[in-house]
Amino acid sequence: MKLEIKGLSKKYGDFQALKALNVEFTEGIYGILGPNGAGKSTFMNLLTDNLKRTAGEICLDGKEILSLGKEYRAKLGYMPQQQGFYEQFSAMEFLRYIGKLKGLKGRKLNGQIEELLTKVNLYEIRHSPMSSLSGGMRQRVLLAQALLGKPEIVIMDEPTAGLDPKERINIRNIVAEISKDKIVFIATHVVSDIECIASKVLLLKKGELIRMESPAGLIASVRGKAGEIPCTKEELQKLQEKYVTGNTIQRQEGLFFRIVGDDLPPEANVIWNNLTLEDVYMYYLEQS
């Protein structure tokens, strides 16, 4: 399976939300990182054909998705950041409702629902009303509905927004498990959601794809470009004012202010190891 993006662009009036994107995807997990306004949501809405493109092509195995129509949409699974629920529905009833909208029915639908509820660890509370479920459980229901119909392309918009660390790990582990033989897109601000599971990471900034590489490759690209300054709480505020792009790290030995850039200040100790995608994000996406 191959998804090709050729010269894909989207303008809202004079604002260029996405600029001539050219990229190719095969099976794997693709993390999409970028600040607000980078073009992440625009890109996903173009992939789902919920938005009319200004220019360009999207081809699945050589065929334009606009000509594929329903055949293409049947291959898609979409997990929105948030979704309104019928609160009186149970998790099972909600999935049955979504499944019928997707054209599934009978034993095939019921079998998939039971399989997915087990996979997302919700089978035991399958009859509980949605109103009684925690935020993490509701997100897992949304993930399950995205997987109904066994889609080949799964698109996830901020799947762990507002969740505690335990639930973020749950979602991440499930995504890693279900990704075999699929193209999975995860748009997120939470770098830890993708750093361990993504095949490649796309860095979007002001509508442009500025880099696409494996997490390891991206991390290697910022070696020597991150540094730390040990500081007290009193010194921290001044450092934050002086260096707009920075991250505060609390270690056993005290506070450290972490900065990135091509020209690190003399007082910063250059970090050669233990670099992360957070450093990549700050270097490529937060610097002006």
Give tens-digit pLDDT for 5-33.
999 999 999 999 999 999 999 999 999 99
d(CA 245, CA 285): 10
CB-count burial class (<10 Å; 0-12, 13-18, 19+) for 19: middle
Judge if pTM exceeds 0.85: yes
In SS3 terms, 3-66 reads as EEEEEEEEEECCEEEEEEEEEEECCEEEEEECCCCCCHHHHHHHHCCCCCCCEEEEEECCEEHH
* CA torsion through residues 91, 154, 35, 273, sign: positive
* Segments of the chain scoring below 50 in pLDDT: none
**Residue ranges per structural domain of the chain:** 1-75+152-166+176-222, 86-151, 224-271
Can you give the pLDDT at residue 183? 97
Can you give the pLDDT at residue 144? 93
| 127 three-class SS | coil
Can you give the pLDDT at residue 288? 64
CATH code at 1-75+152-166+176-222: 3.40.50.300
